Amino acid sequence: MDRGALTRRSWLRAVIVLAFASLTTPLAQPARPPGPAAPLTILQINDVYETMPVDGRGGLARVATLKQNVVRAGGTPLLIIAGDFLSSSVASSIFKGKQMIEAFNAMGLDFATLGNHEFDFGKDVLLQRMAESKFQYLVANVLDESTGKPVGGAVPYVVRTFGGLKVGFLGLCLNSDEISSEKRRGLRFVDPMAAADGAIRSLRDEGAQAIVAITHLSYEEDRQLAQRYPEIGIIVGGHEHYVITSFTGSTLISKAGSDARNVARIDLRGDGARLERLFELVSIDSTLTDEPKTAAVVAEYEAKLGTELDVAIGSSRVPLDAESRRIRSAESNLGNLITDAMRADARTDVAIINSGSIRGDRVFATGPITRRTLIAMQPFGNVLTKIEAPGRVLLGALNHGVSRLPAAAGQFPQVSGLTMTVDAAAAPAERVRDVRVGGQPLDPSKQYAIAIPDYLLNGGDGYTMFAGQRVIVGQEAGDLMVTVLENYIKANSAVSPQVEGRITIK
């Protein structure tokens, strides 16, 4: 380990210990380093779409080695993923998440909850993947309509004992517009807070001395959960793609980023009246070797992808920015490229895409663009559609898209064919000003041709204003988004999109 890494980890330990020292509830006594004698070590990952390292960080085979290292040091690790893993990635577009399940089985995953991307392929595929899993699913609020029970053999909660410490675990999945009605077919989603209430009462009845909630909720929902149920000692959360380590009251909320670039390690020791928790963010990098069994599964699926995905279909003269936090809160050159491709293909006045559907969470380097890269950018199998709607509907869509600023949000719009100014301090429904389509002021009553993915046509990410508008090209007739993008790049041979001031935020 390099000296800098040791210094960073020691600093983080000090911050966490001081944070605990400032709290006064029984679950928040000053923490001491439990070391290898801690009865339980939670190893947390969330929002993992790649089995291999991304830009040198992450890799499930390395995470497997980390778990083994804890065992060798005398600890009892519990490896947990807080949702989002079946989709989206290049491999998942082909294998529908089977490669993730086999890698998780090999690495010894213990618990998982469901995230919104577990429903991308529908109920039947989800059930198949859950049946192939050797680990336990925890989800209290997603039920199979045919049985009324948690989907796929999941359980709402479990109680385990570690060195005399009785720990209760429950699982919760978000219930928002990010999961479209089509993907919910055959399933019933219960309000997460209501489901938590029943699970926590059951955990109390079974004598749990500490409660860990494994959630795939927004950070604000996690905070609400902690406020409503202060007896939850730890929320092992997902959904946001960046590291969050914070307290709401006496509850530690942890989110470890994405693609296993980091693992949140949380050591627990206590007796019910007192719970010690020590946090460390472990960087998953080349200092960890690949665990052979997991590495073999990853290599097998990488080989199956075949050489066809690596054929270059064009090139970019500039880096293409798909970093999640930036693309979900500001204009992006990659967003401009994709929406330009949409508008050209559909021959519309305007194109809009929700930034959450643009994936990769990285800056794609200058140079050749392969099909593999395109699928990494657009992995969901969405279809380009064309509608006609009046300017007032278009304005409503733009206002909805920017309504969560300054927070980064998947609904943030990337656009083509228009420019707009955003007053982030105004009321959410009145933030968009000076919209110009093709250089002309937006006319509220004029009909405009608009290109959108079928996800938005179906109300995804809260874009419900498109319902009832005239559909010119529906999802049954449109081209795949990834195909639209490939055709546009092929036609131009080399692209060099820029941030042009289409969206000005004040």
Supply the DSSP string of 351-371, one letter for each residue.
EEEEGGG---SSEEPSEEEEH
Q: How far apart are CA 357 and CA 347, in angstroms?
A: 21
Give the model confidence (pLDDT) of 135-146 as tens digits. 999 999 999 999
Distances (CA, A) of 439 to 84, 417, 444, 501, 502: 41, 8, 15, 13, 11
Contacts of 61 (CB under 8 A, 6+ apart): 107, 290, 291, 292, 294, 295, 298
Q: Is the pLDDT of residue 73 over 70?
A: yes
* Residue 332 and residue 296 in one domain: no
Give the model confidence (pLDDT) of 289-314 as tens digits. 999 999 999 999 999 987 778 889 99
Q: How far apart are CA 497 and CA 29, in angstroms?
A: 53
* Residue 329 and residue 284 in one domain: no
Q: Is the pLDDT of residue 478 over 90?
A: no
Q: Is the pLDDT of residue 148 over 80?
A: yes
Number of neighbours of residue 18 by Cβ within 10 angstroms: 11
**Comparison of pLDDT for 272 and 196, the residue scoring more:** 196
Q: Is the pLDDT of residue 388 over 70?
A: yes
Structural domain tally of the chain?
2
* Residue 433 and residue 406 in one domain: yes
**273 DSSP 8-state letter:** S
Give the model confidence (pLDDT) of 337-382 as tens digits. 999 999 999 999 999 999 999 999 999 999 999 999 999 999 888 9
Give the model confidence (pLDDT) of 456-470 as tens digits. 999 999 999 999 999
Mean pLDDT of the chain: 90
* Residue 388 and residue 450 in one domain: yes
* Residue finishing a domain among 264, 288, 303: 303
- Contacts for 279-282: CB closer than 8 Å, 24+ residues apart: 279/12, 279/13, 279/16, 279/245, 279/252, 279/254, 280/9, 280/12, 280/13, 281/9, 281/12, 281/243, 281/245, 281/256, 282/9, 282/66
Q: How far apart are CA 215 and CA 48, in angstroms?
A: 14
For the domain that residue 346 is a member of, what is the CATH number? 3.90.780.10
* Residue finishing a domain among 303, 324, 359: 303
* Residue 62 and residue 165 in one domain: yes
* Residue 106 and residue 207 in one domain: yes
Q: Which of 85, 77, 128 is nearest to 104 (CA)?
A: 85
Q: Is the pLDDT of residue 414 over 70?
A: yes
User: Which range marks the domain in which residue 395 is found?
Assistant: 310-505
For the domain that residue 167 is a member of, what is the CATH number? 3.60.21.10
* Residue 270 and residue 316 in one domain: no
Q: 335-372 in b/e burial notation, b at 16+ Cβ within 10 A? A: bbbbbbbbbbbbebbbbbbbbbbbbbbbebeeeebbbb
* Residue 445 and residue 392 in one domain: yes
Predicted pLDDT of residue 384: 94
Q: Provide the percentage of residues in the chain whose pLDDT is more than 90.
A: 81
* Residue finishing a domain among 253, 275, 303: 303
Alpha carbon 25 to chain centroid distance?
32
Predicted pLDDT of residue 272: 63
Contact by Cβ (8 Å): 344, 488: yes
Give the model confidence (pLDDT) of 26-54 as tens digits. 233 333 344 456 899 999 999 999 999 98
Contact by Cβ (8 Å): 489, 369: yes
Could you check whether the bond before residue 406 is cis, i.e. omega within 30 degrees of 0?
Answer: yes
* Residue 244 and residue 124 in one domain: yes
* Residue 267 and residue 349 in one domain: no
* Residue 292 and residue 347 in one domain: no
* Residue 202 and residue 322 in one domain: no
Give the model confidence (pLDDT) of 173-192 as tens digits. 999 877 878 889 999 999 99
**Comparison of pLDDT for 150 and 379, the residue scoring more:** 150
Q: How far apart are CA 333 and CA 330, in angstroms?
A: 10
For 11-25, 255-269, 482-496, which range has the lowest pLDDT when averaged over its residues?
Answer: 11-25
